[in-house]
Structures are given as structure tokens and as C-alpha cells.
Amino acid sequence: MHNASRRSHILIIEDDSKLATALVSGIEAEGYDVTWASSAEEGFFRLHSRKPDLLLLDITLPQRDGLDLLREIRRNRIDVRVLMLTSHNTIEDRVQGLKTGADDYLGKPFSFPELIARIEALLRRILPEPTSDLLSVADLFLNIRTRTATRAGKSIDLSQREFDLLLYLAENGGRTVSREMLAKDVWKENSRFTPLDNVIDVQMTRLRKKIDDSFSVKLLHTVRGLGFSLREPEA
């Protein structure tokens, strides 16, 4: 897989659902791909299931606080930039956060434009300048800017949801993604009680027909009991 350019992925770990919803909506509107976790444990799982480019981390979390999670992230040498976003905003708090391993620190309440400016500044330190809007898997090409797809030079007509789904699979680099991940990251559904499995299966069937039916080499695979993957054929 060749990933020449993609939207930056930001993980938010914040237990205040009202604030988290506003952050997800506002940051997505700036062109970022955003995932939300409401606890340290869920956030740690999501760090491993899909590595973000940047982590926005609250300190006050249920069961396990953000500083403890940050220590584990650094102890395990997980390569991710961390912006602490917290109401603990004394000089001592900021010093402790930075010494624990945060790359930046912003106290609540904060200005949203300042938050975006700090996100941009942190990402500039780690991301190369984009040279292309194209992302490819074998002969399948996705243009992230125009949100169009082609395979073997043939244009594929995709709905907005189908493109989001295909882009998410491509960005995961051949890894298997579960229905739960798709529900949360593509459908933005955080409730455990919303039955989306059938919806996801229907969308996958439609997507498979569009990208694979006309080709002998299949790129979209169902991994029984686990989920789906988009990957190049094995040599």
C-alpha cells in the first residue's frame, strides 16, 4: 500500500460527552479524522487498534486518570504526540503534565481557534508535507481531495458513506477492522445498543460489488468472526 497523503487522525480521550461531541464536530469540520474514547482504558485500546497522529488527553477520567495513561504510553514507547486538555491548569499542573510526557498543555476553558492552532503546530512537527492527494491499494486509487476512486483506471461511482468506508479500510493498511470500529469511526455511533451490523454488512456487500466484481484479483476480504480488511494480494 502506498499512502502519499491522508487526513490526520486525532484521538480524543475525554469523559465529558457534551464537550467531546463538540470537539469531534469542530475538529472534523477542520478536515481531520477524529475518534473519541470516554475512558483511559478505551483510549488505550484505540491507540493500538488504530494509531492516531495526535492524542488530546483529559486528566480527570473515571477509574484511571490521564496522567497515569500518559505514563504508560511513554513507558511503552508509543510514538504519539500528546496535547493535554484539562481543567488542572496551575503552573504546577502544567509542569507535571509536560514532565510526564505531554508535548503541549491547554487549560480549560480554552479558545477553539487556539486549540486548532496548537493541533496544527504539533502536527507540523511530525508530518511530512503532502506531495499528493492519492492513496492506493494495488490498482485501486483514492483521491482524498476530490473523494473519487478508480481501479485499473476505471472510475468507481461511490456514495459518500461508501467512500468514507473505503478510505477507512485503506488507511488501516491491510489490518482487519471490526464492525465495532466501523460503527464508531465511520458511522460515528458510540452507543453499544444501536444495531448497525446489518447496515455495515449491506454497505460492505455494495462496496465489494463496486471494487471487486469486475476483477479477478479481490482486494476486500471478510475475516470470519473479526471483521474486514482491504489489502493487496499476496505475492
pLDDT in tens, 36-85: 999 999 998 888 877 899 999 999 898 889 999 999 999 888 888 999 98
- Let me know: does 222 contact 228? Beta carbons within 8 Å: yes
Confidence class of residue 191 from pLDDT cuts 50, 70 and 90? low
What integer pLDDT is reported at residue 2 of this predicted model? 41
Report pLDDT digits (tens) over 106-130: 998 899 999 999 999 998 876 555 5
Mean per-residue pLDDT over the chain, rounded: 86
Mean pLDDT, range 163-177, rounded to an integer: 89
Output the nine-digit C-alpha cell for 25. Answer: 464536530
Write the secondary structure of the chain as one string of H (helix), E (strand) and C (coil): CEECCCCCEEEEECCCHHHHHHHHHHHHHCCCEEEEECCHHHHHHHHHHCCCCEEEECCCCCCCCHHHHHHHHHHCCCCCEEEEEECCCCHHHHHHHHHHCCCEEEECCCCHHHHHHHHHHHHHHHCCCCCCCEEEECCEEEECCCCEEEECCEEECCCHHHHHHHHHHHHCCCCCECHHHHHHHCCCCCCCCCCCHHHHHHHHHHHHHHHHCCCCCCCEEEECCCEEEECCCCC
What integer pLDDT is reported at residue 3 of this predicted model? 42
What integer pLDDT is reported at residue 68 of this predicted model? 93
Q: Round to the nearest angstrom and report the end-to-end CA distance of the chain.
A: 13
Residue 4, pLDDT > 50, answer no
What integer pLDDT is reported at residue 105 of this predicted model? 92
| Residue listed under C-alpha cell 458513506 | 161
